Amino acid sequence: MITTNDNTRAIRYYQKRGFNLCNIYLNSVNEARKIKPQIPLHGYDNIPILHEIEFEMLL
């Protein structure tokens, strides 16, 4: 599962359910904006959207 760094609700949700943080892709949203320019600069709580955070659950 991947979310952006501004989505603290999702980060909390997945950590509470046993998902492990496995990767952080620094400044990856800037690259995504080249393809999808409508991605906002700021997200929840006015946090700049910059990075993608990847979680995994090992079964």
Return the pLDDT at 37.
96
Q: Tell me how far apart the alpha carbons of residues 50 and 33 are, in angstroms, rounded to a whole number.
A: 10
Model pTM score: 0.89
Profile the chain (59 residues) by mean pLDDT over runs of 10 residues. 97 97 97 96 96 96
Q: What is the pLDDT of residue 20?
A: 97
Report whether 55 contacts 14 (CB < 8 A): yes
Half-sphere exposure of 47 (CA within 13 A, CB side): 11
The pLDDT assigned to 32 comes to 95
CA–CA gap between residue 4 and residue 44 (Å, rounded)? 10
Spans of all domains in the chain = 2-56
